[in-house]
Amino acid sequence: MFPSPSVSPRARADEPTSLMVRSLAPDLARGLMLLLIAVAHAPAFVNDWDLGPTALNAAATFVKSLVADNQARAMFVFLFGYGLGQLTQRQYARGDDWPTIRKLLRRRSLWLLIIGFLHAVLLVPLDIIAVYGATLLLLTPLVRARDSVLCWTGAATLVPATLLLTWQGVTAQHNAHNGRAFTMAEYMTPNFGAHVLAALPSWPIETLLSTIIVVPGMVLGIWAARRRILDEPARHAAPLRRAVGVLLVGSIVGRIPVAFLMAGVWSTSSAPVAWAVHAAHTLAGYAGGIGLAAAIGLAAIRLGHEHGALTTALAALGQRSMTFYLFQSVVWVVLFYPFTLDLRDDMGAAATIVIGVGTWVVSILLADWMRRLGHRGPAETLLRRMSYRPRVGDYPDRTTEHRSG
DSSP assignment string, 160-219: HHHHHHHHHHHHHHHHHHTT----GGGG--SSHHHHHHHHTTTHHHHHHHHHHHHHHHHH
Indicate whether 1 belongs to any domain: no
Binned at pLDDT 50, 70 and 90, residue 4 comes out as: very low
Answer positive or negative: Cα dihedral of 129, 330, 382, 30.
Answer: positive
Indicate whether 284 belongs to any domain: yes
Binned at pLDDT 50, 70 and 90, residue 175 comes out as: confident
Local structure of 395: helix, strand or coil: coil
Indicate whether 401 belongs to any domain: no
Please state the pTM of the whole predicted model: 0.90
76-110: pLDDT as tens digits: 999 999 999 999 999 999 999 999 999 999 999 99
Indicate whether 402 belongs to any domain: no
Binned at pLDDT 50, 70 and 90, residue 338 comes out as: very high
Indicate whether 5 belongs to any domain: no
Written as one letter, the residue type at 379 is A
In terms of Cα–Cα distance, which of 123, 117, 215 is closest to 164? 215
Residue 288 structural domain: 17-393
Average confidence score pLDDT of the chain:
89
pLDDT at 303: 87
pLDDT at 390: 57
Answer positive or negative: Cα dihedral of 33, 34, 36, 41.
Answer: positive
Number of domains in the chain: 1
Indicate whether 178 belongs to any domain: yes
Is 353 in contact with 60 (CB distance < 8 Å)?
yes
Q: What is the CA radius of gyration of the chain?
A: 20
Indicate whether 122 belongs to any domain: yes
Indicate whether 8 belongs to any domain: no
* Number of DSSP helices (H) and strands (E) in the chain, helices first: 15, 2
Binned at pLDDT 50, 70 and 90, residue 171 comes out as: confident
